[in-house]
Amino acid sequence: MGKKFKGKACAYCGTGDAGTADHVFAREFFLLEDRNSLPKVPACPRCNREKSKLEHYATAVLPLAGRHPAAIQNCLENAPRRLQKNEPLRSELDRGRGQRWGTSPAGLIVPETTLPVDPKLLTGLYSYIAAGLSWYHWEVHVLPNNLAVQFLTSESDRCLRSTLIPRPDCIPVERNLGNGTVIYNGFRLSSNFLGVAVWFISIYGVHFGNENASVGVCRKVGVFITFLN
């Protein structure tokens, strides 16, 4: 671990003297050439271990559903190897594979393959990511109970932005990692004793749907957090 994090508390659970460093977005999400200067935070061995279990799942599954060129390349090069090592996950994905009609970026109606995902594992990972980003950008510690993850439709994304951005106390963050492999925005409202922030995160441009068709397609994951300013 670099000197930078020496003696720092874990970005995820707040435990003193974290002892290890962690990439907020696992390096495996990125192509080799895009792995430099990814955000890193101090992490205790326990959080590091728990988070990497969730990352094993997400780095195997999300490239299969990705729309971004890096996802497709990652899918061809790495995901099969990761899935080969995880036979139960491979057969679960195979069994749950489906088809539906979707809209291409050019607006054409095209057939799409759908895959079942475990929302618990994904929301767990996005919670860690949001806590990590809060520490990385604002040096704020967010405790697990103060995080709420939601899959956002374009409409709810727009609605939230138009509420947050005009506020004079809003501190925005925007980053694009690995040529769009990961895109995230953060909006922090800092005027109160109780801080409030939202992270919007997109990995590989994956779309999330729901078996209940009345819920629109979700293009981003939103993580809502509160913390003491």
Q: Which residues contribute to the site for Zn ion (CB under 5 A)?
A: 10, 12-13, 15, 44, 47
What's the closest the beta carbon of residue 201 comes to Zn ion, in angstroms? 20
Does residue 134 contact residue 144 with C-beta atoms inside 8 Å?
no
Tokens linked to 140: 């704020």
Whichever of 12 and 57 has its CB closer to Zn ion, that residue is 12
Whichever of 44 and 64 has its CB closer to Zn ion, that residue is 44
Question: Phi-psi region for residue 92, left (φ > 0), alpha (ψ -120 to 50) or beta?
Answer: alpha
CA atoms within 13 A on the CB side of 31: 17
What's the closest the beta carbon of residue 194 comes to Zn ion, in angstroms? 23
Whichever of 132 and 178 has its CB closer to Zn ion, that residue is 132
Report helix, strand and coil shares of the chain as percent, to nearest 5: 40, 30, 35
Give the DSSP H or E segment for 83.
helix 79-84
Tokens linked to 75: 């899918």
What's the closest the beta carbon of residue 46 comes to Zn ion, in angstroms? 6
Whichever of 50 and 157 has its CB closer to Zn ion, that residue is 50
What's the closest the beta carbon of residue 127 comes to Zn ion, in angstroms? 13
What's the closest the beta carbon of residue 141 comes to Zn ion, in angstroms? 10
Does residue 216 contact residue 154 with C-beta atoms inside 8 Å?
yes
What's the closest the beta carbon of residue 12 comes to Zn ion, in angstroms? 5
Does residue 165 contact residue 189 with C-beta atoms inside 8 Å?
no
Tokens linked to 13: 């659970």
Beta-bridge mates of residue 112:
100
Whichever of 13 and 72 has its CB closer to Zn ion, that residue is 13
Whichever of 4 and 81 has its CB closer to Zn ion, that residue is 4
